Amino acid sequence: MNGDETGSGLLRMACARLDRVAERIGLEPWIHARMRQCQRSLEVSIPTRMDDGSVCVFRGFRVQHNAERGPTKGGIRYHPGLTLAEVQALAMLMTWKCAVVGLPYGGAKGGVVCDPHAMSRRELERMTRRYTAEISLLIGPNKDIPAPDVGTDPQIMAWMMDTYSMTVGHSVPGVVTGKPVELGGSLGRLEATGRGAATVLMAAADRLGLLPAQSTVAIQGFGKVGRAAAKYLHGRGFRITGVTNSRGGVFSPRGLDIPALLDHVRASPEGAFDGFGGGETVADGPAANKRLLAMPVDILAPCAMENQITADNAAAVRAKIVVEGANAPVTPEADAILAGNGIEVVPDILANAGGVSVSYFEWVQDLQAHFWEEEDVNRSLERLMLRAWNDVAGVATREKCRLRDAAEILAVTRVARATKLRGIYP
């Protein structure tokens, strides 16, 4: 499946889920139609001088889905398979994610079609600065606040902040989040998505009566999200029996020594597991992922990319709970199979909302020029995630539905309420 097909499929999935919720709650047709469309979609051309003197023209996007609850918020993705349809779908999911956790934001997303791993840092900087200039008419601390996503990092956010600041003539740290702490970034931001996912995972385990010391966890994707979640869960007593990334995996039924594994991966080229002595290593990425998804664990956390659990492999999943640390890792067809097998799914718009939550904290700190201690950030994140979990679980109990349906009902209802209160201008 090529990038266009993947992106279009993700957008169809997002719209289909909205349609089901709209029908269930009796959403007014005009509000439904409004939510089905993105408020703004910008496509830009990004000429960039490469290190060899040639000029490469990249394609970029910035999409704002809905701004009824406040300025829009969403990541910047650098990936060779990125499409406009994918960005639109992810912007819609960001709207629901912000609404579920009660943030005063709407959803946005953006990115550039490129392979950041094949570019030098100077090339990335030149491309990023031109991309920022091209989308500057949409972004701003009171309009649309970008953040890191797949293929981007705090340094790229620093370049974006500096470029925007040079354009307006003064420093504007609140225009992006996920920045280095030295430029107004927040302590605790790098691990926020994984920590938030782990917090919700523990609440879901408790709901099923699973005790940490007696529970096993498998984590697909050992990047920023998976590593932080593994570190946090290990510290709380969970036994992590398998982790994978695109290059391979490592497994141990007795449980992996996560601190040792984190040290090993940090010291390894490209985060490889080769040579780690605390478990059985598999050097083939697809084979390792296939094995991990079928492990007989209590909790499976896909923390990599979209469309990882599909109709082709969902029947092999043996976990009691699937926690979506990534965006849309379970396809609709797979979701139905998991439901039929009695496997609960904690949806992405709840499970991985920790990143945008601490991005919100960073934005607040930038606007106030008053910065928090890391323990205050982490404590506020845990409180916010648990409140969102309780809200979603409450809807699930009241409506007698699965957690995914409950989260979507809660999100769409909150956005619809804001839409009605604001009315139509003019």
Q: Which residues are known catalytic residues?
A: 109
The counts of H helices and E strands in the chain are: 14, 12
Return the half-sphere exposure (C-beta side, CA atoms, 13 A cut-off) of residue 30.
Answer: 4
**CA dist., res. 236 & res. 213, Å (int):** 8
Beta-bridge mates of residue 48: 56
- Give the number of residues written for the chain: 426
- Token pair 């996912």 is found at 197
**How many other CB atoms are found less than 10 A from the CB of residue 413?**
15
Nearest to 227 by CA among 187, 194, 267, 274: 194
Find all residues with CB under 8 Å of 376, minimum gap 6, and list them.
Answer: none
**CA dist., res. 138 & res. 134, Å (int):** 9
DSSP 330: B
Find all residues with CB under 8 Å of 285, minimum gap 6, and list them.
Answer: 244, 245, 246, 247, 248, 249
**What percent of the chain is helix, strand and coil (3-state, nearest 5)?**
50, 15, 30
Q: Letter for the amino acid at 354? A: G
* Distance, first Cα to last Cα, the chain: 44
158 and 180 Cβ atoms separated by less than 8 Å = yes
- Angle between helix axes 3-25 and 332-340 (nearest 10 degrees) is 60
Helix or strand holding residue 412 (H, E): helix 403-422
- Please state the separation of Cα 400 from the chain's center in Å: 27
Coil, helix or strand at residue 7: helix
**CA dist., res. 260 & res. 250, Å (int):** 12
**CA dist., res. 176 & res. 331, Å (int):** 30
255 and 214 Cβ atoms separated by less than 8 Å = no
**CA dist., res. 92 & res. 7, Å (int):** 13
